[in-house]
Amino acid sequence: MVSKPADKFRLTPAFSKILVTICSLLILSGCLQQSQTIQTEWQSPLLKDHPLNGQIFDIKNNSNISYSQLINQLGNYRYILIGEKHDNPDHHKLERQLLGDLQQSSATRVVLEMLNQQQSSGFNQLNASSSNKEIKDALHWPDKGWPWKDYSGLVVSALQNNNDIRGGNLKRSLLMDIYRGAKPDEARFTTVSKISSDIKQTILKQVYESHCKTIATDQLAPMVEIQISRDASMAYNLTQKLTSTQQAILFTGGFHGRKDTGVAQHLVQLGADKREIITVQLVEADEHALTAQDYPFASPQIADYIMFTPKYSDQDYCAPLRKTAEH
């Protein structure tokens, strides 16, 4: 039987036997009494009593798993894609926890959607003892779009653990060039032309809905190209000069983290085996969806695991766009 490419990240049989023996000896202490929920003090104020809060749903097996089981599973894969809702503080807290439990010094590459490739050169000036201000200044952190208070813990953790950290996003001038129809001649965009028309149609639907259905779909082609180009850039930075012993973790928005349309599609085009890629979606509870199967991300084509949290805001983000469209 051909072994999975990700098998090299698994525990050795000998060590697994030792771990089982230790757990057997410690049953009375609760080694095998794993909690099926994430234990945390939620910062998001809405739907704190929702029954799914803290649950981790294994989509393939249609069952809940414990946090330690999730960490054990993630350790088997070369590429881990973690999708967040950008304004949810509980998502940022869980991301810091996930990184803290997964990172293995320089054997871990961390790619951030929040930084562009040029900004990440600032890491060359930093080290584990750098202060928050030194880090923010060296990276020219884009606080307006990505509040430093939300992501400082993630960046500091990666720096202190000597992770291989890279930005995956595109600088504004390049985004504008793509919007105007330019095709950047860079290695990180080689996968853009390989994305199928079916996937582009799905992305078009996502972009249409994310713009609150206020812009006609025939005007959204430039936005689709930007979305695909950003996915391509993040995938490239996950794979570029990645050594055989490194594991790469991406922190990004939920749509970029989708298996069917996002960064994963570009990873495959760059030569990654699908069995090397795993996705975790951090998802806010919905008062009208009381079981995990009720959520759009709960499809094996879209994600592998869902971690549920309370909801941060009930603000109608579409209201300003609708108001502009009316005038």
Burial (Cβ within 10 Å: 0-12, 13-18, ≥19) of residue 276: buried
Taking only the tens place, the pLDDT of each residue in 265-295 is 999 999 999 999 999 999 999 999 999 999 9
Confidence band (pLDDT; 50, 70, 90) for 305? very high
Region 165-174 average pLDDT:
97
Percent with pLDDT over 90 in the chain = 83
Q: Are 120 and 165 in contact (CB under 8 A)?
A: yes
pLDDT value at position 321? Answer: 73
Sign of the alpha-carbon dihedral angle for 205, 207, 212, 213: negative
* Cβ neighbours for 225, distance < 8 A, ≥ 6 positions apart: 178, 179, 192
H and E: helices and strands count for the chain: 10, 8
> Is residue 56 within a helix (H) or strand (E), and if so which, with residue range?
strand 56-58
Whether 14 is covered by a domain: the verdict is: no
Whether 2 is covered by a domain: the verdict is: no
Res 260 pLDDT > 60: yes
Res 58 pLDDT > 90: yes
Taking only the tens place, the pLDDT of each residue in 182-194 is 999 999 999 999 9
| Amino acid sitting at position 258 | R
* Cβ neighbours for 180, distance < 8 A, ≥ 6 positions apart: 222
Res 327 pLDDT > 90: no
Region 161-171 average pLDDT:
97
pLDDT value at position 35? Answer: 57
Whether 12 is covered by a domain: the verdict is: no
Residue 274's CATH number: 3.40.50.11550
Whether 240 is covered by a domain: the verdict is: yes
CA distances from 74 to 67, 95, 137, 306 (A): 11, 13, 33, 13
Taking only the tens place, the pLDDT of each residue in 228-243 is 999 999 999 999 999 9
**Number of domains comprising the chain:** 1
Taking only the tens place, the pLDDT of each residue in 199-215 is 999 999 999 999 899 99
Percent with pLDDT over 70 in the chain = 88
Q: How many angstroms separate the CA atoms of 178 and 223, rounded?
A: 9
Taking only the tens place, the pLDDT of each residue in 105-138 is 999 999 999 999 899 999 999 999 999 999 999 9
pLDDT value at position 13? Answer: 44
Q: How far is CA 118 from the centre of its chain?
A: 20
Confidence band (pLDDT; 50, 70, 90) for 36? low
Q: How many angstroms separate the CA atoms of 36 and 16, rounded?
A: 22
CA distances from 118 to 115, 141, 204, 237 (A): 8, 11, 28, 12
> Range of 98's domain?
36-326
Res 320 pLDDT > 80: no
Least Cα distance to 236 among 286, 281, 272, 276 occurs for 272
Whether 83 is covered by a domain: the verdict is: yes
Structure tokens, 68: 């330690």
Res 18 pLDDT > 60: no
pLDDT value at position 37? Answer: 72
Whether 187 is covered by a domain: the verdict is: yes
Whether 201 is covered by a domain: the verdict is: yes
pLDDT value at position 38? Answer: 83
